[in-house]
């Protein structure tokens, strides 16, 4: 397992937010719209939760990857588990980095016509 001492503070470079599992055509179209935004990714994790990953670094992340407000960091940072972080959970079910990836997956999985 990679420890935080060996890492560049990857978890402080992005925001990952759970989104509702798409069911209707409109939901799938909305996800295509997310992917029109450069740098943003959408993925389905190993528990089948859909997530949007937004590449915005936290303003408190120092150049060396440490946290400038470590003692006062928010609860979400305090409870974040290194065992579950992106460095240690390498596999996600599906990752969409581009609209092309996404459209191929929709076609293959016949999500809507």
| Binding-site ranges for ligand SF4 (CB under 6 A) | 2, 4, 7, 9-12, 58, 60-61, 67, 69, 73-74, 77, 82, 85-87
**What is each CA distance from 4 to 9, 24, 43, 66, in whole angstroms?**
7, 40, 23, 9
Contact 45, 92 (CB under 8 A): yes
Looking at the Cβ atoms of 26 and 64, the one nearer to ligand SF4 is 64
Looking at the Cβ atoms of 87 and 97, the one nearer to ligand SF4 is 87
Q: How far is the CB of 108 from ligand SF4 (least distance, A)?
A: 31
**What is each CA distance from 66 to 7, 82, 88, 96, in whole angstroms?**
10, 14, 18, 29
Q: How far is the CB of 98 from ligand SF4 (least distance, A)?
A: 24
Instruction: Find, among 87, 90, 86, 113, the residue nearest to 29 by Cα.
Output: 113
Q: How far is the CB of 111 from ligand SF4 (least distance, A)?
A: 31
**CA angle 89–95–100, rounded 5-degree value:** 165
Looking at the Cβ atoms of 78 and 109, the one nearer to ligand SF4 is 78
Q: How far is the CB of 25 from ligand SF4 (least distance, A)?
A: 35
Looking at the Cβ atoms of 20 and 64, the one nearer to ligand SF4 is 64
For the chain, the distance separating the N- and C-terminal CA atoms, rounded to the nearest angstrom, is 43
């Amino acid at each position: 397992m990679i420890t935080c001492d060996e890492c560049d503070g990857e978890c402080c470079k992005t925001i990952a937010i759970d989104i509702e599992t798409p069911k209707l055509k409109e939901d799938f179209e909305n996800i295509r719209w997310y992917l029109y935004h450069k740098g943003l990714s959408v993925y389905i994790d190993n528990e089948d939760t859909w997530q949007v990953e937004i590449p915005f670094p936290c303003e408190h992340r120092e150049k060396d990857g440490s946290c400038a407000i470590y003692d006062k960091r928010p609860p979400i940072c305090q409870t974040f588990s290194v065992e579950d972080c992106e460095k240690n959970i390498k596999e996600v079910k599906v990752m969409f980095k581009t609209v092309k990836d996404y459209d191929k997956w929709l076609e293959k999985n016949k999500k809507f016509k």
